[in-house]
Amino acid sequence: MAAFVADTLKQRYHSAIVEWQKKNFPELHMLEENWVTYFGSQPKFALIAKVAKLKTDLIEYGKFAGQQKFEKAGAMSGNMFFSARDIIKAQCSTEFGSVQQHRVSLETATGDEAKYCVMRIMAEELRHAYQMFWVLDHDSTWRKLGMGDVAAETMDELLAMKTGEHVLDAFNIEFTDFIDNIIFGAVIDLVGKYQLDMQKVFAYAPMARSMGPMFSEEGFHLGTGKRFLREYSIEACEGRGRWTMPEIQKVLNIWVPRGLEMFGNEKGGTTAVEFGFKDKTNGQAQKEYYEEVSQIVQHANIGVLQTRNPKMSPLECREAVQEITSTGDKVASVKPDEILHMPAMTFFRRRGLDEYVFKPIDLRGNMITEGGKPVKADAFLKYLETQVPSRYVKTADFEKYAGHYRKAEEGGGEGW
């Protein structure tokens, strides 16, 4: 029995997404032509909506728990209606945004296998955007009296978005090197896994039916990032890679803070749970996410230790990594700058709690001070430039961050 039923959009928006793909991902035909070469008998890509069965017809969380899930958007009133729309919009924006980001550095891939893995990710993200359009397009009750056609307005807005205009900051950063593609897969696609998993309980049934197939596909995206991060780390250890370990570390320093921010303020998220849209608050999910990213980083580090010390067991390598991290000493022929380190949860944050947003906090989570007081913006930004790639410092995203940091220091508000 099939795990899902295939469906398509009405012609207007099906054609619109095909045109979007031709503009933003014209290489798709290469993936389709060479699918068997790289992915064997795995199901081929198809631009369709995959509609799975509900685990339960009943709402599982929040104030409507025990009631039937909403089959029609129009049955949700007030804030619930627009909160559902906002989640769908944000989800779709991430899918379109990642396709646009990946394509910029696609041709700098380290080889054909890595390139085709990223193209598969792009294709599946395109399908996920298509899926979110299906959630909006198939339900006529998104058109409400006095509110216009909320679905059409949302879809048209999404089709027009470019890098720099997406809902979440992580999807407004231009990739400048293929290592961005890989660490994005390991770090940001992991957020995607969490969001899709949390939204399997969604009180609006069409959204809940969409999560399972998307979640399954997200596993490949995360696996690609995890696999190549380990490979590139081992190559760096052996002195034969395109990037050194410090260079990989600097890219990690960009993306981990952005991944944390994708969960929202850690004290928030109760509304989504109350409406039955998710099964965890922001803080719960964020904490679990940070621990899982730490495990991905440790997986890469264990590969480095095993390469240097072939006779050591994985457990011994894990213990050696922990010792290097905690003591800062060289252990088993590996120095601290030859493994990766997790940035502190409070490092380089632009969204979240006042205690760390736009504050001079270093990579280890310590406040940078001078004369007993936090250093000023210029000093911190100079420090930050040493912790991220020089190419990133030249991007619009870093310039925007620096501008908002200075504004916050002057009392012009925190976060954006």
The 3-state secondary structure of 288-348, one letter per residue: HHHHHHHHHHHHHHHHHHHHHCCCCCHHHHHHHHHHHHHHCCCECCECHHHCCCCCCCCCC
Exposed/middle/buried for residue 60 (C-beta within 10 Å: 0-12, 13-18, 19+): middle
Residues of the chain with CATH 1.10.620.20: 4-233+273-294
pLDDT in tens, 50-106: 999 999 999 999 999 999 999 999 999 889 999 999 999 999 999 999 999 999 999
**For residue 335, what pLDDT is reported?**
97
Fold of 4-233+273-294: Ribonucleotide Reductase, subunit A (1.10.620)
- pLDDT over 50 (residue 213): yes
Q: Collect contacts of 138-141 with beta carbons under 8 A, ≥24 apart.
A: 138/7, 138/9, 138/10, 138/206, 139/72, 139/73, 139/74, 139/206, 141/72, 141/73, 141/74, 141/75
Say if residues 106 and 181 touch (Cβ distance below 8 Å): yes
User: What is the β-pairing status of strands 148-149 and 49-52?
Assistant: unpaired
Q: How would residue 145 be classed by pLDDT, with cut points 50, 70 and 90?
A: low
Q: Are the beta carbons of 389 and 395 closer than 8 angstroms?
A: no
> Does the structure show a pLDDT above 80 at 1?
no
Q: What is the mean pLDDT of residues 220-237?
A: 98
Q: Which helix (H) or strand (E) holds 390?
A: helix 390-393
Rounded to whole angstroms, the Cα distance separating 148 from 97 reads: 26
Question: Which residue do the tokens 């409406």 mark?
Answer: 275
**What pLDDT was estimated at residue 269?**
79
Residues paired with residue 373 on neighbouring β-strands, in sequence order: 370
CA separation for the pair 15, 144 (Å, rounded): 25
